[in-house]
């Protein structure tokens, strides 16, 4: 597809080095699938920037994340567009690293890369409301906002996606035999452990109450609940896929703040692409998927709602088709290219 720059350079965390490593991996594969030249530089391993290398930052779309770019001295090239995540819009806050002003007038163009919730966002880094008129959809899972008088830089809002490419989504995976165990492979509470030994978390960011109720429903139905800590024991994509496929049911649970914002997690998209029934406790996720996921705010009842739909192969197929068509990193990369092509 048409692209105004010579190539894409991803500057940041390696796979399994940080949560963003998963995202960069997805984008890297997505751009390659679209035939765009792309390089991935890992500054945490001491990869030096040299203007003579293939990954020179001249005439590029440079994609980064504030912790991995600023703290590792991302070079700024005046001929390139920079799309950086987590620069924030809360000056003076605990996560203020200088914001967009680190890039404006130093690069060809700066794009503030933000998460794409359904309703709003308000944490230590950002505060904003979703406005359909100012932030129209430019692709499935991506919005774009042109610079205005208050903030003189563009913004792109993207959801994450499944790690599978469209060609890797196998509709027959919905027939994988389920076992009487439900796996949770994401973070619990404040992380670094399971339901009983993880770090504490403030109530607004704590998913343990939901998971405990879901576990109680599992046990009442004779299904074992198991979890894996991604920090203590990071799993490969293949391991995550296998656990999701074998799970009796595998809904996604969001904590109170994410429920309020309408945060859209990648976990639902991944599980669906693996052939598992997509389910959530989030009304925002339900709306994002146009009602095409099992939804219940009550985590105990959600287990039984999932169990009643787990063998509805036509329903699961419709979910898989939606993810294949709309929610892979190929989709996200197309939207990013569209944003980068804006003058």
* Mean pLDDT (whole number) for 122-135: 95
- Is the Cβ–Cβ distance between 231 and 188 less than 8 Å? no
Amino acid 67: pLDDT: 74
Verify that 203 and 101 share a domain, yes or no: no
In a domain? residue 239: yes
Verify that 263 and 332 share a domain, yes or no: no
Q: 276 lies in which domain range?
A: 166-326
Q: Which class for 304: exposed (0-12), middle (13-18), buried (19 or more C-beta within 10 A)? A: middle
Give me the CATH number covering residue 236: 3.40.50
Tally of domains in the chain: 2
Report pTM: 0.94
Verify that 204 and 252 share a domain, yes or no: yes
* 261-301 pLDDT, tens digit each: 999 999 999 999 999 999 999 999 999 999 999 999 999 99
In a domain? residue 155: yes
- At 139 the three-state DSSP class reads strand
CA 67 from centre of chain: 17
- Looking at 71-230, which runs of residues are DSSP E strands? 81-85, 109-115, 120-122, 127-129, 137-139, 142-145, 154-158, 181-184, 224-227
Verify that 181 and 209 share a domain, yes or no: yes
Report the mean per-residue pLDDT for the chain.
93
DSSP 66-84: HHHHHTTT----TTSEEEE
In a domain? residue 1: no
Nearest one of 4, 1, 38 to 109, comparing CA atoms: 4
* 32-54 pLDDT, tens digit each: 999 999 999 887 766 555 554 55
Under the banding of pLDDT at 50, 70 and 90, the label for residue 61 is very high
Verify that 132 and 181 share a domain, yes or no: no
CA distance 63 to 50: 17
* Mean pLDDT (whole number) for 181-197: 95
């Amino acid at each position: 597809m048409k692209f105004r720059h010579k190539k894409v350079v991803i500057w940041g965390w390696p796979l399994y080095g940080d949560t963003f490593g998963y995202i960069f991996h997805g984008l890297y594969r997505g751009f390659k699938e679209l035939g765009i030249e792309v390089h991935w530089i890992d500054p945490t391993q001491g990869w030096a920037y040299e203007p003579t290398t293939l990954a020179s930052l001249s005439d590029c779309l440079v994609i980064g994340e504030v912790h991995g770019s600023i703290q590792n001295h991302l070079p700024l090239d005046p001929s390139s567009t920079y799309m950086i995540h987590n620069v924030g819009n809360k000056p003076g806050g605990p996560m203020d690293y200088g914001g967009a002003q680190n890039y404006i007038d130093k690069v060809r163009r700066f794009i503030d890369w933000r998460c794409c919730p359904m309703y709003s966002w308000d944490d230590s880094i950002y505060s904003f409301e979703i406005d359909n008129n100012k932030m129209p959809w430019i692709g499935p899972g991506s919005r774009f906002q042109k610079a205005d008088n208050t903030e003189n830089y563009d913004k792109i809002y993207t959801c994450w996606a499944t790690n599978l490419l469209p060609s890797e989504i196998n509709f027959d995976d919905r027939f994988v035999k389920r076992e009487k165990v439900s796996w949770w492979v994401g973070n619990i509470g404040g992380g670094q452990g399971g339901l009983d030994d993880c770090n504490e978390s403030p109530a607004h960011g704590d998913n343990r109450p939901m998971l405990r109720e879901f576990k109680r429903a599992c046990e009442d139905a004779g299904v074992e609940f198991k979890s894996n800590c991604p920090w203590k024991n990071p799993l490969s994509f293949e391991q995550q896929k296998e656990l999701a496929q074998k799970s009796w049911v595998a809904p996604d649970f969001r904590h109170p703040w994410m429920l309020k914002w309408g945060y859209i997690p990648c976990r639902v998209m991944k599980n669906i692409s693996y052939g598992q029934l997509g389910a959530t406790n989030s009304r925002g996720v339900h709306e994002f998927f146009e009602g095409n996921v099992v939804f219940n705010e009550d985590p105990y009842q959600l287990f039984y709602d999932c169990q009643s739909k787990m063998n509805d192969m036509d329903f699961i197929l419709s979910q898989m088709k939606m993810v294949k068509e709309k929610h892979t990193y190929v989709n996200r990369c197309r939207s990013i290219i569209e944003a980068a092509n804006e003058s």
